[in-house]
Amino acid sequence: MAKTLASLLDKMWNDYVAINPLAKKISDLLTQEGEAIQNDHIALRTFNHARVGVDVIAKPFVDSGYTYKGDYQFPEKKLYAKHYEHSDETLPKIFISELKLEEFSPALRSMVEEFISQIPEGRERDFDFSSQGRPWKVSITQYNELLKESDYAAWVAAFGYRPNHFTVFINILKKFSDIRILNEWLKKTGFQLNASGGEVKGTPEVFLEQTATLANNIEVSFDDGKLTIPACYYEFAKRYPMKNGKLYQGFVATSADKIFESTNKGQ
């Protein structure tokens, strides 16, 4: 079990590329192009339940030197999120979102309540809980029921606790610090981008431009069989300086709203 922040971040990356080999491939290709990769942020997903809410998931990071820096509402997707930064600016920001259960049907709420009741007492306080994977049993029927109300709920039910995506901080890249040049290269190299709301989300005026690959599909084992579903995606962020000359470190809700759709089944 990971016990230090460095080993936890390593474990999260290894878990993530195990189900998203495309991210490893892109990261390796960028390295071959002579680029040094630094992560802008890592995104985690959960439910706003007392046992596993954002603050519970954030605790190991806060205990390791991260501080809360901002929060975000996603009314359409019924999500709330917080972001955390470390005093060591080379470490990725941690972005944690939670599904607002009270805004969903009693059926969805009781299904999620039942999942969470399967987590062994106190397990959610493990230092590496955010990379332990799925701590409950779920059937294909349940996954499909959840999909009707929320792609996000279905994703968390199927994958549990693991990074939804890593994001490359492209400012420091030599050849690919322009997001449009990066996108052209990604497409030419054979990767598909999330086009919801345009390939580039955000503008220099909001101090953040982002782009994401479409989640790759993988076969997941459920209680009652296997199903091939969208897993994780890889994201890229370009940050711009604010009036005070410092790079903006926050997130832009309208852009993130579109990026959440990278794991939608329809795309």
Contact residues toward Ni ion (CB under 5 A) are 43, 167, 235
Tell me whether residue 98 or residue 235 sits nearer to Ni ion (CB atom).
235
Helices and strands in the chain: count of H runs, count of E runs: 8, 9
Distances (CA, A) of 151 to 16, 256, 263: 19, 15, 7
Closest distance of CB 265 from Ni ion, Å: 19
* Lookup result for tokens 């080999």: 21
Question: Which residue number, 35 or 257, has a Cβ lying nearer to Ni ion?
Answer: 257
12 vs 119, beta carbon nearer Ni ion: 12
CA 54 – CA 52 distance, rounded (Å): 7
Q: How far is the CB of 3 from Ni ion (least distance, A)?
A: 26
Residue 67 half-sphere exposure toward CB, CA atoms < 13 A: 5
What three-state secondary structure class fits 130?
Answer: helix
Task: Report the nearest approach of Ni ion to the CB of residue 43 (Å).
Answer: 5
Decide whether 142 or 167 has the Cβ nearer to Ni ion: 167
Q: Which is nearer to Ni ion, 132 or 167 (CB)?
A: 167
- In one-letter notation, the amino acid at residue 103 is E
Residue closer to Ni ion (CB basis): 109 or 258:
258
For 73-94, b where at least 16 C-beta lie within 10 A, e where not — what string?
ebeebbbbbbbbbbeeeebbbb
Minimum distance from residue 145 beta carbon to Ni ion (Å):
27
Phi then psi for 40, rounded to 5 degrees? -80, -50
Query: Residue 123 CB, nearest distance to Ni ion (Å)?
Result: 26
Phi, psi of 98 (to 5 degrees): -140, 145
Residue 141 CB, nearest approach to Ni ion (Å): 30
